Structure 1
């Protein structure tokens, strides 16, 4: 690309010095991706560092039995921890990344990525700050899946998707995927929530009725 106007959307990269900006101008490529585009699969070689400017990429694991768990999402202004890890460690991908929406991003080939990490403290801090933040989130997810009570985690998910109550625009299967459990487990727990008056269920409908009650239940996860 011939200009780096997209840098203005990334405050952490605005202090880049002129040599780093020149390298980005010469080597970075804007990419536009359609929803449902598979960016990488387990076993793929990692060749590019991707900075998402708009949209959302879902990174998930899929078991041999078809069970899926969402590890994290890469949204505007952020990068993929797995990509960073693979580039630095020279490892292949171990999960799958798929665009959930239309995505606008900037791709930087590995040689340019390596050169910037080595030469630019600002770029290096951007990369590793994003890596550290996402790693903390990932460790929290591992802890929740391993030790968290499903009713607390489900309550937290419902509040996240409907913070002021009302319709939750997700199926039981999507909720199960986010929580790393089976659809049957989620459906059974939602039935219990319905019995308690926390949610309303119907054909293709899930509605939060008691946000305060769900918040109290979600708070028990950290109590």
Structure 2
């Protein structure tokens, strides 16, 4: 990739680049491959080999763990200025992906090939950046494990609704996807919430009527 093709927003999104020696930064610029993907495009899938280290310039990637029955558990999202800890782990361990990444919107990526990623790990600033990423994502994943293991689905649904504002424009399927559940269960819980006067339901819209009541449900 030439310097002219380098997105102008890249240094602002990834300040780590300014801390790299000129030779290392130039290697990244020359070797990174730009990808522009529409929504719903698989970026990687389980058991695929990892081809590179992604920098998200625009859009977002949803990373999920899929079960054989088709259900998915959302793990995290990768937004501009972030990168993917599963990709990092696969590159460091020379192992295939163990999750799936899908674009949520029009997404622009810079993908640094595996060999260049390994070479940049010799630079302390880049190595610190990668391990800081691990620290942050592991904390997020531990919170997710705690949510799934120790909180009932109605508590998690109530907390999810409270985090989206008074009026939500969403479908029951989208909420189920976010919770790693199935639409039928989420619909049943929402109907229970509506019967209690906590929410009002209409087509692809949920209005929160009793935030205090939802907070009590979320708190168990």
Equivalent position of 1:148 in the other structure: 151
- Tell me the equivalent position of 1:180: 180
* C-alpha distance in structure 1 between counterparts of 2:121 and 2:169, whole Å: 40
Give secondary structure in 1 for the equivalent of 2:76.
strand
Structure 1, residues 44-79: CA drift from partner, whole Å, max 9, x if none?
110110011211101112212121211111111111
Q: Per-residue deviation at 1:216?
A: 4.2
- Give matches, 1:12-161, under 5 Å: 12-118=16-122, 120-161=123-164
Instruction: Assess if the C-alpha contact under 8 Å between 2:13 and 2:80 holds in 1.
Output: no
Q: Is the 8 A contact 1:41 1:95 kept in 2?
A: yes
**TM-score of the two chains, using structure 1 as the length reference:** 0.90
Q: How many residues align?
A: 216
14 and 169 in structure 1: CA distance in 2 versus 1, 3 angstrom threshold: farther
Superposed displacement of residue 139, structure 1: 1.6
Gapped runs of 5+ residues in structure 1? none
Q: Structure 1 residue 81: deviation in Å?
A: 1.2
Report the TM-score when normalising by structure 2: 0.91
Deviation string 1:168-208 (CA, Å, 9 cap, x unpaired) is: 22211221121122222211211121122221112333222
Cα drift, residue 211 of structure 1: 3.0
User: 1:16 and 1:159 mapped to 2: Cα distance?
Assistant: 42
Quote the Cα distance in structure 1 between the aligned partners of 2:137 and 2:17: 18
Distance 2:17 2:217 in 1: 40
